[in-house]
Amino acid sequence: MKSLEIPRNEEAHHHHGCSSEGETERDEAGRPMRIFIAIQGYYGERMAENIKRHAPANWEVNRLTIPAGLPAIIDDADEFLPRELPAADLLISLGEHPGVAQMIPDMVKKSGARAVVASADNRAWLPFGLARQIKQKLESMGVDMVYPVPFCTLTEDDSQNHYIREFARHFGRPDVDIEFYKDDRHRIGKVTVKREAPCGSTRFVADHLVGIWFREATEQAGLLHHQFPCLATMAMDREFQDTLMHRAGNMLKQTVQQSIKDAGLDRYSV
């Protein structure tokens, strides 16, 4: 996997890495998928690093750190964006201010991206109304956009766009497979991550569930998710009548619970 950090007013730095799976994924034209990630702070940085580390081997992952302290309304995106951006198929917006979202159409034009993932782990960073406006603007440009709330709810079913679906095969709503020790089928022996939350929490939880009694696994998964820690907001969300942190934790707990059920174990097992 190739990665590229784009410092403002500096030359780009190159880094080469490889996913643990050693997979290669190509787009419809037969070349590796190119991803561009816009971040501002630690929230986006942690996700960008995890995506870069665990993406298929030949994905190209570029990122740009946009300065903090943006104005409420962006009149001229060129004041905050480099003159040129690397070519991309998929743009992922992880800003911590609505101004970053306002610049999504400009970043699409500069990068040539054909799809956008604009997540909201905090509605203050990307309110629903603004997301809808941007989505409509992108549709007029022939570009697809999804708005997962939070990011770790994304699945392949959320879009028919090739690039979004390809990304969501690897990152989005957690999906794990649990195996149990042969000499103690009630204790977890191995957890395989099939799809991980973009922040990296799924791997953290998977590693710490080994050796746990199956009846405690779902509750432990929720506790470990908080300890990672989850950076989704604790504010009550009007659409879901729940906090986004709790919603994110439930995504993980549900896959753990389902995997235990698939193994033929439930709370009545002895």
What pLDDT shows up at residue 141? 98
What pLDDT shows up at residue 6? 58
- 0.75 surpassed by pTM: yes
Based on the fold, state whether residues 121 and 27 are members of the same structural domain. Answer: yes
Determine, yes or no, domain membership for 201. yes
Report the number of distinct structural domains present in the chain: 2
Based on the fold, state whether residues 79 and 136 are members of the same structural domain. Answer: yes
Instruction: Supply the CATH number for residue 242's domain.
Output: 3.90.1010
Based on the fold, state whether residues 154 and 252 are members of the same structural domain. Answer: no
User: What b/e readout covers 63-100, taking b as 16+ CB neighbours within 10 angstroms?
Assistant: bbbbeeebeeebeebeebbeeebbebbbbbbbbbbbbb
Would you write out the chain's pLDDT as a tens digit for each of its 270 residues? 554 565 443 333 333 333 334 444 555 556 789 999 999 999 999 999 999 999 999 999 999 999 999 999 999 999 999 999 999 999 999 999 999 999 999 999 999 999 999 999 999 999 999 999 999 999 999 999 999 999 999 999 999 999 999 999 999 999 999 999 988 889 999 999 999 999 999 999 999 999 999 999 999 999 999 999 999 999 999 999 999 999 999 999 999 999 999 988 875 455
Based on the fold, state whether residues 41 and 126 are members of the same structural domain. Answer: yes
CA max distance for the chain: 65
Instruction: Supply the CATH number for residue 109's domain.
Output: 3.40.50.720
Q: What is the DSSP string of 148-191?
A: -SSGGG--GGG---HHHHHHHTTBSS-EEEEEEETTEEEEEEEE
Based on the fold, state whether residues 203 and 159 are members of the same structural domain. Answer: no
Determine, yes or no, domain membership for 268. no
Based on the fold, state whether residues 200 and 140 are members of the same structural domain. Answer: no
Based on the fold, state whether residues 107 and 179 are members of the same structural domain. Answer: no
What's the domain range around 237?
175-262
Based on the fold, state whether residues 138 and 226 are members of the same structural domain. Answer: no
CB 116 within 8 A of CB 103: no
Determine, yes or no, domain membership for 237. yes
Based on the fold, state whether residues 107 and 203 are members of the same structural domain. Answer: no
Beta strands in 33-183 (DSSP E): 34-39, 60-65, 90-94, 115-118, 144-146, 175-181
Determine, yes or no, domain membership for 214. yes
What pLDDT shows up at residue 20? 38
Based on the fold, state whether residues 232 and 100 are members of the same structural domain. Answer: no
Based on the fold, state whether residues 234 and 208 are members of the same structural domain. Answer: yes
Determine, yes or no, domain membership for 267. no
Determine, yes or no, domain membership for 27. yes
With 0-12 / 13-18 / 19 or more C-beta atoms within 10 angstroms meaning exposed / middle / buried, residue 5 is middle
Determine, yes or no, domain membership for 127. yes
Based on the fold, state whether residues 163 and 29 are members of the same structural domain. Answer: yes
